[in-house]
Amino acid sequence: MTTKAKKNVREVSLDLLVAIEKNQSYSNLLLNHAINAQQLPQKDIGLLTELVYGTLQRKMALDFYLQPFLKNSKRIENWVLQLLRLTLYQMVYLDKIPARAAIHEAVEIAKKRGHKGIAGLVNGVLRTIQREGLPSFATVTDSVERLAIETSHPEWLVKRWVKAFGYEKTKQMCEVNLTAPLQTARVNSTKVSRDECVRILEEEGFQIEKSPIIPEAIRSLKGNLAASQAFRDGLLTIQDESSMLVAYALGVREDESILDACAAPGGKSTHIAEKLNGSGEVTSIDLHEHKVKLIHENAGRLGLNNIQPLVLDSRKLGEHFIEESFDRVLLDAPCSGLGVMRRKPDIKYRKKEQDIEKLSRVQQDLLHAVSPLVKKDGLLVYSTCTVDKQENEMTIQSFLEHHQEFVMDDSLKKRMPEAIKPLLTGFDLQILPQDFGSDGFYIAALRKMKAKS
């Protein structure tokens, strides 16, 4: 019986790129599955991640480079186009891989997966590019279109951002979105201090720096923290620094009752529970049972007993809880995810402008549904991992127009970490990816007015 030959890292990368485009699958989920299924050596995991994410991140620029060298691009099979993108990405953006080695590998894959004719096409296109050089982005005269192609962001999105933030901020955001994010984690303060956690991780062989933004956060400069013994022992949670600001915005006090209305997988719920220091209760809601299971698992790993996970539809919470049941309510709303493109590069190609309109309506419905559950003088915090004004400022503006019982909470700044305060002027905060290298994120704090005496 013959055993199937193991695929090398470039073949696995090609399979992933084909699957992501064909099935509209999420790159991060497929990548994690492939790493586990292929049992790749540690040195190859980094290269696989670089090749898949890098090729996805730069897809529009790579197609711009390829276009003059492909006579009938529409007739080329998708896997061949993906192979050309993957190889050109190595030739243009990766210094450590010689062009001749990348081309040789591509031709071998083409022979194995296709036939001589395809191998000849791949070899011909790549050798011609190597010989003649790349076309220049300068040939695109419109500045917005050029920025879109050069940074591989859909033109509708770049136009939208330029209108909202101006050209320079948009350019910075597009460029940052092409860079790999650092892995960050939140230290579980109920179990260990940050200094002690850093020491434990360094003994495990990790290279760690303390976050200059969040007092309980750390950044991994080397090593996957989710694979650490410290993670298994519940000493930390993988979470982006922007996302950690939500628990600060809520300003929880011991013994309070908190609702997290869209809670899975539980990163924010567990942070809130840690800040309650074993007191009070966090009611963590999600619509899907398998996602609520993740909240259970996270709470168990971290040793937090003050979280109550429930499978419910947050639009119908009024049927399960009496009005004014909670001191503070967090609505981390479903959104376009345009702030997390560095982690999920395929998002930018999948989203359409009309999706934002639909999401905005869902966000409005959710705010309307959870608002009666906030006690008088209590806080409602709204957050998203997007940078779109329609999902953020405009959604909150519309909510306030229809809910006179809520006002902007301008004391938000007092509750935030010192490093964040300069970004804040009033009741809300828009973090862009370039601000401190974290995810794009929005937070607004609203207070329910006391009853008039």
Sheet holding 217-222, edge to edge: 207-210, 217-222, 183-187, 236-238
Alpha helices in 182-278, H assignment, sequence order: 194-203, 229-232, 241-250, 267-276
36 with 86, same domain: the answer is yes
Residue 65, amino acid: Y
Domain hosting 383: range is: 241-448
18 with 30, same domain: the answer is yes
pLDDT tens across 306-361, in order? 999 999 999 999 999 999 999 999 999 999 999 999 998 989 999 999 999 999 99
pLDDT of the residue at 25: 66
pLDDT of the residue at 2: 39
157 with 280, same domain: the answer is no
167 with 259, same domain: the answer is no
81 with 30, same domain: the answer is yes
CB 432 within 8 A of CB 424: no
Q: CB count, 10 Å around CB of 311?
A: 15
pLDDT of the residue at 37: 74
Distances 36 to 29, 33, 41, 285 between C-alpha atoms, Å: 11, 5, 10, 30
In a domain, 2, yes or no: no
124 with 151, same domain: the answer is no
Per-position pLDDT tens, the chain of length 453: 334 456 788 998 999 999 888 877 667 777 877 777 777 777 788 888 899 999 999 999 999 999 999 977 668 899 999 999 999 999 999 988 899 999 999 999 999 988 888 999 999 999 999 999 999 999 999 999 999 999 999 999 999 999 999 999 999 999 999 998 999 999 999 999 999 999 999 999 999 999 999 999 999 998 889 999 999 999 999 999 999 999 999 999 999 999 999 999 999 999 999 999 989 999 999 999 999 999 999 999 999 999 999 999 999 999 999 999 999 999 999 999 999 999 989 899 999 999 999 999 999 999 999 999 999 999 999 999 999 999 999 999 999 999 999 999 999 999 999 999 998 989 999 999 999 999 999 999 999 998 664
Verify whether residue 385 is a known catalytic residue.
Answer: yes
Domain containing residue 26: CATH number: 1.10.940.10
3-state secondary structure of 131: helix
In a domain, 4, yes or no: no
pLDDT of the residue at 162: 98
159 with 216, same domain: the answer is no
pLDDT of the residue at 121: 93
pLDDT of the residue at 3: 41
pLDDT of the residue at 74: 66
316 with 440, same domain: the answer is yes
| Average predicted confidence (pLDDT) for the chain | 93
Q: How many domains does the chain have?
A: 4
In a domain, 430, yes or no: yes
Catalytic residue among 174, 197, 262, 385: 385
Domain containing residue 214: CATH number: 3.30.70.1170
In a domain, 412, yes or no: yes
CB 428 within 8 A of CB 393: yes
12 exposed, middle or buried (CB, 10 Å; 0-12, 13-18, 19+)?
buried
pLDDT of the residue at 241: 97
Q: Which of 100, 106, 104, 12 is nearest to 50 (CA)?
A: 12
Task: Kindly state the DSSP code that residue 305 receives in the 8-state scheme.
Answer: -
- 345 preceded by cis ω (within 30°)? no
73 with 115, same domain: the answer is yes
For residue 219, the cross-strand partners are 184, 209
pLDDT tens across 210-227, in order? 999 999 999 999 888 999
In a domain, 1, yes or no: no
170 with 57, same domain: the answer is no
71 with 191, same domain: the answer is no
